[in-house]
């Protein structure tokens, strides 16, 4: 192992290195075709929230429907694909998706919880 490879290994050793699947989704149908199915899409994500680490749209001002990203807890690509294949927008042919295996290594996540108010803040 070279000196550079050894340094890289030392630097990433303490990283979390949690592997997750990321689904990037893209619209293939018009906003008018997609809009009636938004409640079904939201219900699906809420019903399967235990499989979803993070999910949401990329925001472009003035656009209601655009690209999105869902980070999934899945042991295999097959499991992640099954989740996405059953997502209502995908199932109806309104969106397509691309899966990538992602390794979470660096960053900071702080959550402030107010239990009495049933709310939280992400910092």
* Domains parsed from the chain with CATH numbers: 18-122 (3.30.70.1060)
Split at pLDDT 50, 70, 90, the class of 3 is very high
Q: What per-residue confidence (pLDDT) applies to 123?
A: 66
Q: What per-residue confidence (pLDDT) applies to 113?
A: 81
3-state secondary structure the chain: CCHHHHHHHHHHCCCCCEEEEEEEEEECCCHHHHHHHHHHHHHHHHHCHHHEEEEEECCCCCCCCCCEEEEECCCCHHHHHHHHHCCHHHHCCCEEEEEEEEEECCCCCCEEEEHHHCEEEEC
Span 30-51, pLDDT tens digits: 999 999 999 999 999 999 999 9
More confident residue, 78 or 66: 78
């Amino acid at each position: 192992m070279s000196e550079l490879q050894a340094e890289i290994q030392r630097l990433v050793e303490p990283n979390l290195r949690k592997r997750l699947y990321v689904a990037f989704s893209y619209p293939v149908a018009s906003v008018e075709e997609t809009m009636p199915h938004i409640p079904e899409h939201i219900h699906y994500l809420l019903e399967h929230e235990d499989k979803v680490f993070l999910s949401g749209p990329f925001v472009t001002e003035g656009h209601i429907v655009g690209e999105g990203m869902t980070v999934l807890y899945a042991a295999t690509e097959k499991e992640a694909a099954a989740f996405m294949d059953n997502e209502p927008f995908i199932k109806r042919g309104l969106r397509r998706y691309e899966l990538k295996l992602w390794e979470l290594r660096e960053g900071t996540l702080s959550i402030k919880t107010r239990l009495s108010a049933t709310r939280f803040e992400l910092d």
